[in-house]
């Protein structure tokens, strides 16, 4: 399982980086990787080593942090941002509205994904929470603790919003939205490709939920497939 997760995360990170290079160029690609990676690693370090609320069970690990999980979180964050950019542009949001709506909308999509992925990971023993959580109490971790703490999801929303807002503030303006460039950020093709990059995470979660009879988590995570479908559908007015 550790090898499969590592291979999945590395392949996904490579594809997301290629998508970003085409859509945004090298400078913005590196900015998102550095900014998103540093904030995510800080959260992971605090959760696992300071508060000791979470323990990863996959290998390899560095200071209790799983690089595979960190890469997966970069993949989810970047693809979700690209999906929401395309949707907001497609529905006519101007630059000001995009800048205001993108952080929260991206955070909600990522958290929607985590509402089912965290359940799968807990059930498969990829990590364990050190205390019981009130979400998904019907799922038991390898240490006998049940559920996922709600603080995990508020942390996700805060983390993703911080990454996107920081990304926007450093760029100062929305100059990477250029609809005249095929495949550029905010275009239909960019959104469709990013939506496809999310499917390798969502489809295994769907299969797990159906196999384990946990279909309620498909409903809880419904925002994610809705965003994927909107991005894949696109808008005929965009390139």
pLDDT in tens, 31-52: 999 999 898 889 899 999 999 9
- So what's the pLDDT on residue 2? 83
Lowest mean pLDDT among 16-30, 152-166, 167-181: 167-181
Residue carrying the six token digits 């990304």: 167
Q: Which residue did the predictor score with more confidence, 234 or 65?
A: 65
φ, ψ of residue 145 in degrees (nearest 5): -80, 140
Q: Which residue did the predictor score with more confidence, 70 or 195?
A: 195
CA-derived radius of gyration, the chain = 17
Q: Residue 130: which residues within 8 A CB-CB, separation 6 or more?
A: 52, 53, 54, 55, 143, 145
Q: Which of left, alpha, beta for 128 (phi over 0: left; psi -120 to 50: alpha)?
A: beta
Q: Rounded mean pLDDT of 54-66?
A: 92
- So what's the pLDDT on residue 239? 43
**Which pLDDT tens digit goes with each residue over 103-143?**
999 999 999 999 999 999 999 999 999 999 999 999 999 99
Q: Where are the domains of the chain?
A: 2-233
* Number of residues that this document lists for the chain: 239
Q: Which residue did the predictor score with more confidence, 182 or 238?
A: 182
Over 50: is that where the pLDDT of 53 sits? yes
The percent of the chain in helix, strand and coil, each rounded to the nearest 5, is 70, 5, 25
Of all residues in the chain, the percent with pLDDT exceeding 70 is: 95
Q: How far is CA 111 from CA 85, 117, 155, 220, in A?
A: 17, 10, 9, 10
**Which pLDDT tens digit goes with each residue over 136-153?**
999 999 999 999 999 999
- So what's the pLDDT on residue 183? 85
Over 80: is that where the pLDDT of 235 sits? no
Over 70: is that where the pLDDT of 176 sits? no
**Which pLDDT tens digit goes with each residue over 198-224?**
999 999 999 999 999 999 999 999 999
């Amino acid at each position: 399982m550790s090898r499969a997760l590592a291979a999945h995360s590395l392949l996904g990170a490579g594809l997301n980086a290629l998508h970003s290079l085409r859509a945004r160029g090298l400078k913005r690609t590196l900015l998102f990787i550095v900014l998103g990676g540093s904030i995510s690693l800080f959260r992971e370090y605090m959760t696992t080593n300071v508060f000791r609320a979470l323990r990863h069970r996959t290998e390899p690990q560095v200071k209790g942090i799983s690089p595979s999980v960190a890469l997966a979180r970069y993949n989810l964050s970047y693809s979700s941002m690209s999906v929401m950019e395309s949707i907001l542009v497609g529905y006519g949001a101007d630059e000001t509205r995009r800048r205001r709506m993108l952080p929260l909308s991206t955070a909600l999509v990522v958290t929607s994904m985590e509402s089912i992925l965290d359940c799968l990971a807990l059930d498969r023993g990829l990590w364990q929470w050190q205390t019981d959580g009130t979400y998904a109490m019907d799922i038991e971790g390898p240490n006998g603790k049940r559920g996922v703490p709600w603080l995990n999801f508020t942390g996700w929303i805060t983390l993703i919003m911080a990454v996107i807002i920081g990304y926007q503030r450093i760029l100062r303006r929305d100059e990477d939205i250029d609809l005249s460039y095929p495949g550029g950020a905010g275009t239909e093709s960019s959104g469709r490709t990013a939506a496809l990059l999310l499917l390798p995470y969502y489809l295994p979660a769907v299969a797990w939920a159906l196999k384990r009879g946990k279909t309620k988590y498909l409903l809880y995570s419904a925002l994610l497939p809705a965003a994927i479908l909107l991005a894949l559908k696109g808008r005929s007015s965009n390139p």
